[in-house]
Structure 1
Amino acid sequence: MTTSFLAALQALLDPAGILTDETALAGYCLDQRRRYRGQALAVARPRSCEEVAAVVRLCAEHGVPIVPQGGNTGNCGAATPDESGSALILSLERMNRILEVDADNNTITVETGVILADAQAAARAAGRLLAADWAAAASCQIGGALAVNAGGVNVLRYGNMREQTLGLEVVLASGEIWGGLRALRKDNTGYDLKQLFIGAEGTLGIITRAVLRLFPLPTAQALALVAFPDPDAALALLRDLQGRVGDRVTSFELIGQPCLELLAKHFPQLPQPFSPAPQWLALIELSDCGDSAELSDKLIEALAESEIEDAVLARNAAESEALWRLREEIAEAQRREGVSIKHDISLPVSRVPAFLAECGPKLQAEFPDAQIVAFGHLGDGNLHYNVFRADKSQAAYQAEAAINAIVYGCVTQLGGSISAEHGIGQLKVDALTQYRSKLELDLMRGIKQLLDPQNLMNPGKVLRF
Structure 2
Amino acid sequence: MNSLVDELARVVGADHVLTAAGEQAPYVTDWLGKYRGSALAVVRPGSSEEVRRVLAACHEAGAIVVPQGGHTSLSGGATPDGSGNAVVLSLTRMNRIREIDPIGNTITVDAGCVLARVQEAAREAGRFFPLSLGAEGSCTIGGNLAANAGGVAVLRYGTMRELTLGLEVVLPDGRMWDGLKALRKDNSGYSLRDLFIGSEGTLGVITGAVLKLFPEPRARAAAFVAVPGLDAALGLLAVVRERCGDRLTAFEFMTDVCLDLVTRHVADARLPFGSLPAAAVLVELSDTDGEAALAERLETALVDAVEAGLAEDAVVAQDGTQARAFWRLREGISEALVRAGKAAKHDVSVPVAEMAAFVREAGAAVEESAPGARPVVFGHLGDGNLHYNVLRPEVASEEAFAAAAPALTRRVHDVVARHQGSISAEHGIGQLRVGEMSGCKSPLELELMSALKTVLDPQWRFNPGKLLPPDMPARRPVE
TM-score, normalised relative to structure 1? 0.97
- Alpha-carbon distance in structure 2 between the residues aligned to 1:276 and 1:24: 51
Cα distance in 1, alignment partners of residues 61 and 463 from structure 2: 15
Closer/same/farther in 2, CA of residues 284 and 370 from structure 1, 3 Å limit = same
User: Could you tell me whether the CA contact under 8 Å between 2:95 and 2:110 is conserved in 1?
Assistant: yes
Q: 1:20 to 1:203 in 2, by over 3 A?
A: same
Does 2:329 correspond to 1:326? Answer: yes
**Which deviations, in whole Å up to 9, do the C-alpha atoms of 1:318-370 show, x marking residues without a partner?**
21122112222322322333432111110110111111122112211221131
Contact 1:339 1:394 (8 Å CA) reproduced = no
Shift of 1:272: 2.3
Q: Residue 477 of structure 2 corresponds to which residue in structure 1?
A: none
Asked if the contact 1:340/1:388 (under 8 Å) is kept, the reply is yes
Secondary structure at 2:413's aligned position in 1? helix
How far apart are the structure 1 equivalents of 2:426 and 2:86?
26
| Residues 380, 20 of structure 1: alpha-carbon distance in 2 compared, 3 angstrom cutoff | same
The separation in 2 between residues aligned to 1:7 and 1:397, in whole angstroms, is: 44
1:421 aligned partner:
426
- Does the aligned pair in 2 maintain the 1:253–1:282 contact within 8 Å? yes
1:266-310 deviations in Å (ceiling 9; x for gaps): 311222222432121111011111021112111111111212121
Distance, in Å, in 2 between the alignment partners of 1:397 and 1:140 is 29
Q: Deviations over 1:214-240 (max 9, x none)?
A: 011111211001111101111111101
Q: 1 CA distance for matches of 2:10 and 2:261?
A: 51
- The amino acid of 1:433's aligned partner reads S
SS at match of 1:323: helix
Partner of 1:21: 20
Q: How does 1:348-363 map to 2 (within 5 A)?
A: 348-363=351-366
Q: Is the 8 A contact 1:230 1:279 kept in 2?
A: yes
Q: From 442, 448, 452, give the equivalent of 2:453.
A: 448
* SS at 2:74 equivalent: coil
* Greater displacement, 138-147 / 8-17: 8-17
Alignment-derived partner of residue 383 in structure 2: 380
1:401 alignment partner, one of 402, 406, 426? 406
Equivalent AA in structure 1 for residue 288 of structure 2: C
Percent identical among aligned pairs is: 51
Q: Map 1:12-411; keep pairs closer than 5 Å.
A: 12-306=11-305, 307-389=310-392, 390=394, 393=398, 396-411=401-416
Shift of 1:118: 0.9
For the Cα contact (< 8 Å) 1:338–1:392, is it kept in 2?
no
Deviations 1:96-152 (A, max 9, x none): 111111111101111011111110011011111101112111111111110010101
Please state how far the C-alpha of 1:398 moved relative to its aligned partner: 1.7
- Which string of whole-angstrom CA distances, capped at 9 and with x for unpartnered residues, describes residues 3-34 of structure 1? 22212221211233111121121121111121
Asked if the contact 1:337–1:392 (Cα under 8 Å) also holds between the matched residues in 2, the reply is no
Which of residues 456, 459, 463 in structure 1 aligns to 2:464? 459
- When structure 1 is superposed on structure 2, of 387-396 and 58-67 the one drifting more is 387-396
Contact 1:339/1:392, CA 8 A, preserved across alignment: no
1:392–1:144 distance in 2 versus 1, CA, 3 Å: farther
Q: Is the 8 A contact 1:9 1:58 kept in 2?
A: yes
CA separation in 1, counterparts of 2:15 and 2:313?
Answer: 56
- Asked if 2 retains the 8 angstrom alpha-carbon contact of 1:228 and 1:279, the reply is yes
> Partners of 1:392 and 1:100 in 2: how far apart?
54
Runs of 4+ in 1 over 6 A off after TM superposition: none
List per-residue Cα deviations over 1:25-77 (Å, max 9, x = no partner): 11211111211111111210000001111111111111111111111111111
Number of residue pairs the alignment of both structures matches: 464
SS at match of 1:305: helix
Gaps of 5+ in 1: none
Partner AA of 1:322 in structure 2: A
Residue 395 (structure 1) shift? 5.8
Contact residue 445 and residue 463 of structure 1 kept, 8 A = yes
Q: Deviation at 1:393? A: 4.4
Distance 1:107 1:61 in 2: 37
Q: Matches of 1:128 and 1:350 in 2, distance apart?
A: 34
Per the alignment, do residues 392 and 55 of structure 1 end up closer, same or farther by CA in structure 2, a change over 3 Å counting? farther
The CA RMSD measured in Å over matched residues stands at: 1.4
CA deviation string 1:141-200 (max 9, x = no partner): 111110010101100011000000000000001100100001110111211101110000
Instruction: Between 455-464 and 328-337, report the one with greater CA deviation.
Output: 328-337
